[in-house]
Structure formats: C-alpha cells, structure tokens
Structure 1
Amino acid sequence: MTTPIAAQSPVLSPERLAGAYSYAAYRQLIDELMTQGKTTGETQSEDLTAYARLNIQRMERLDKKAELLPEMTAALAALTQSYEWVIITEGWCGDAAQIVPVLEKIAQASQGRIRTHYLLRDENLDLMDHYLTNGGRSIPKLLILRAATLTEVANWGPRPALAQDLFLEMKAAGATHEEFAEQLHGWYAKNKTQATQHELLGVVEQMA
C-alpha cells in the first residue's frame, strides 16, 4: 500500500540517516544475534528467535533466487534523480523477510539512484509512530526520500494489498498467529514477489 506525500520538512536528519544499517550490516546483525539465541528488538522469546531463524532462510533464498520484473528494470533506468530509501524493519518480522530482499534488489539495480538505509523499529519508535497502519506499528515500512532534501516522496508497506487483505480476512475469522503465518508465507511462496514488485513498480514510476 502506497501513500503519496506532499513536500514537507526533512523526515530525519542526515546524521540519523548516516547511522542506519546497510543491508549487509543488517543481515550480519541478525546472524550474529542468532548465534546468541536472540533476535532484534526489545522483546526476546523462543518464538521470536524461531521466527528470526526461519526469516534468515527466507532472506537467503530471495537474495539468490528473486528476479526483478523487466518493467521494474526499465522504470529504474528512467530515474533522473537520487533517492534515499529508509526501511523500518526487525529480524523477527516475517513480512520483512519476504519484502526487504526485494527492496534491496531494486536499489542495487538502480545504478546508484536509490540508496537503502535500514532502521530497527524498536530503536526508532518516534519515527515509526508517524507511519502506523490501522493504529499499529506494522513493518516493514519503506520511506522514499529525495536525496537532496530528505523530504518524503511516498511511503509503502507493510505488505502488498493482496497480503493485507488475507491478513484482515484471517484476523476477522479469529485465526491464530500460527495459522496466519502458515497462510501468509504460503501466499508469498506462490506469488514469488510478483505482487510486491508490481506495487513497488508504481512507486518507482512515481519517482521518475
């Protein structure tokens, strides 16, 4: 789900942006915490660590196998300005594991016009609380900023509309977290990043 934004003041300071994780550093952090039986975020539990372990496998698979749509590659080539993509995420988040590698692949294919920066939600609640979804701190959340001003162009997340519809249907039906996770990750596996990419394609085309 994408939200266009009129020009405003900078979303965050250059210093805060500089302190964000690169994708490699974000992945390294998750891996290092896993060796300690932990994950990112303030809350720690065996369940969250188990989710994070599965998410590492999901990200590794998408890093290797996800391919960008030809339309996405063409839209990236049409960009004429530079952008900072700020991604609010956590290692235990299943949606983030399915989406963050796609965001990174898009940025890597942009020939330097898009740079990614990863912030942990629980360490940046003041920023997160400007981007609530139905009142909740749902992640991942993508903030698209103009590089020159750090003002917002648009934001997207926490998941493609089709996945959000599935989430709302199962929530209304009283599904357990386990039931929802099974259905959601099954959907992501079958969809093969297509819905995510098509929505993000619309975002990139707005940026051109």
Structure 2
Amino acid sequence: MKIPVAKALFNSHSYSEYRKLVSDLLLEGKSTGNEQSDDLKHYSELNETRMNRLDKTIKITDENSLKLKNLNNEYIWLVISEGWCGDAAQLLPVINKMAIDAGKIELRIVLRDENDELMKLFLTNKKKSIPVVIVVDKETGSVLGKWGPRPKGATDLITDYKKEFGVIDEIVKTNLQLWYLHDKGISTQNELVNLMLDLQQ
C-alpha cells in the first residue's frame, strides 16, 4: 500500500463521522479546510441541507444493487472530500448507499487539506479536484483504481460552459446542481459499478 494511502486510512472517517464533523464545525461558524470564509461556510450550510435530503431520497437501482452484491472481493472506497464542496455533497450520499448495499465495500472519508500528500497522487488535470474515490483492495491494501471528481455528464456540462463563456460562474454552478437533481445519482452509480466490474476482470 502506498504510504500516503495508509496514512490517510489511519486518519479517515466513516460517513456518519464525516457528517458529524462538518455539522459540528458549522455550529462553530466554520467550514472544513485550511481556508475559512463566509462563502465556504455558506456552501457548507447548503451542502448540509442537500445531503440530509439525499440521504433520505437516493435509491440504488435494482440492477446496480445486484451487481454490487455480486462483487467477488472486499474493498475500501477512500474518498477525498471537504464539507464546502458542492460535488461531494451530491455524490457522497450516493457513494455511501452503494457501499452499504454492496456489503463488501467499506467507505472511508478524508479531508483534502489534511491529506496533501494523498491528494497529489490523485490530481485531475493537475488540479486538486474533489471528490475522488480511491478503490483499495481490502486484503492486499493495493490501490486498484480511482473515480471522480464528477460523473461524465456533469464534467461535460462544466467543460462545455467554460469553453463557451471562459468562466465558471454562478450560472453554471446552478446548472450543475440542476443536472444532479435530474440525474438522481444514476450516472454515479453506473460509472462506479462499471469501474468495479472492470477491476474484477
């Protein structure tokens, strides 16, 4: 196992611990991460509401549920996240439900700013984009693959908008949240299930 991965796992949180950590910081008027601002706190508050809703409403499709239950091995999904991250708030409830459903996947979450060494191993286009799901074989501790920071449809939406308008602004951020709302976590499920099936080949 790569040393930064082992270190991160040692300091990682379960889903409920992560949720509590973010909530407790909000009570102190803070967000997770090294940087503190009113904006980040505001995003964290929005995400808290979003995740509470998604925890209640997200459903894993029967087809994906069956594929997850039929995985041969046991895995750890180590997710790099932060409480202020809008994509993480949309995706973590889906990822958590999938792990529970599979029965063979342990979900662990770490904060990006506290795990710089780990983050540097899993950059997207040289950027510290999150969330990132790192797939670890539970028995051997080897890193098998990664997924993130968002499903293809959401990535395309951002890329196309940036190409056309040259910026990432509030308009596209709203469009992205609407995309997630309509998608209902299906793209994330499909992409992660396909990744897991590929890794088993």
Task: Give the TM-score of the pair, scaled to structure 2.
Answer: 0.94
Cα deviations across residues 159-189 of structure 1 (Å, max 9, x unaligned)? 0011001111122213443122111001111
Find 2:56's aligned residue among 35, 47, 64. 64
Indicate the residue corresponding to 2:182 in structure 1: 190
> Quick one: which amino acid aligns to residue 18 of structure 1?
F
Question: Are 1:52 and 1:91, in contact at CA under 8 Å, matched by a contact in 2?
Answer: yes
Q: Where does structure 2 lack aligned partners over 5 or more consecutive residues?
A: none
Question: Are 2:4 and 2:117, in contact at CA under 8 Å, matched by a contact in 1?
Answer: no
Find 1:129's aligned residue among 120, 134, 146. 120
Indicate the residue corresponding to 1:19 in structure 2: 11
| Closer/same/farther in 2, CA of residues 94 and 59 from structure 1, 3 Å limit | same
Looking at structure 1, the residues matched to 168 and 146 of structure 2 have their Cα atoms a distance apart, in angstroms, of 29
**Larger helix proportion, structure 1 or 2?**
2
> Quick one: which amino acid aligns to residue 150 of structure 1?
G
> Quick one: which amino acid aligns to residue 122 of structure 1?
D
Aligned length: 199
**Deviation of the 1:100 alpha carbon:** 0.7
Find 2:142's aligned residue among 145, 151, 161. 151
| Closer/same/farther in 2, CA of residues 13 and 131 from structure 1, 3 Å limit | closer
Give secondary structure in 2 for the equivalent of 1:196: helix
**Deviation of the 1:70 alpha carbon:** 1.2
**Deviation of the 1:14 alpha carbon:** 4.5
Cα deviations across residues 143-174 of structure 1 (Å, max 9, x unaligned)? 00100121111100000011001111122213
Find 2:166's aligned residue among 163, 174, 182. 174
Find 1:90's aligned residue among 75, 82, 97. 82
Looking at structure 1, the residues matched to 5 and 43 of structure 2 have their Cα atoms a distance apart, in angstroms, of 32
Q: Where does structure 1 lack aligned partners over 5 or more consecutive residues?
A: 1-8
**Deviation of the 1:17 alpha carbon:** 1.3
Task: Give the TM-score of the pair, scaled to structure 1.
Answer: 0.91
Give secondary structure in 1 for the equivalent of 2:121: coil
Measured on the aligned residues, the alpha-carbon RMSD in Å equals: 1.5
Indicate the residue corresponding to 1:142 in structure 2: 133
Indicate the residue corresponding to 2:106 in structure 1: 115
Question: Are 1:85 and 1:145, in contact at CA under 8 Å, matched by a contact in 2?
Answer: yes
| Closer/same/farther in 2, CA of residues 143 and 13 from structure 1, 3 Å limit | closer
Looking at structure 2, the residues matched to 132 and 73 of structure 1 have their Cα atoms a distance apart, in angstroms, of 29
Indicate the residue corresponding to 1:73 in structure 2: 65
Looking at structure 2, the residues matched to 197 and 110 of structure 1 have their Cα atoms a distance apart, in angstroms, of 12
Kindly indicate whether structure 1 or structure 2 has the higher relative contact order, using CA contacts under 8 Å at least 6 residues apart.
Answer: 1
Give the share of equivalent positions with the same residue, in percent. 39
Cα deviations across residues 3-40 of structure 1 (Å, max 9, x unaligned)? xxxxxx54646454132111111000100111111110
Looking at structure 1, the residues matched to 160 and 199 of structure 2 have their Cα atoms a distance apart, in angstroms, of 32
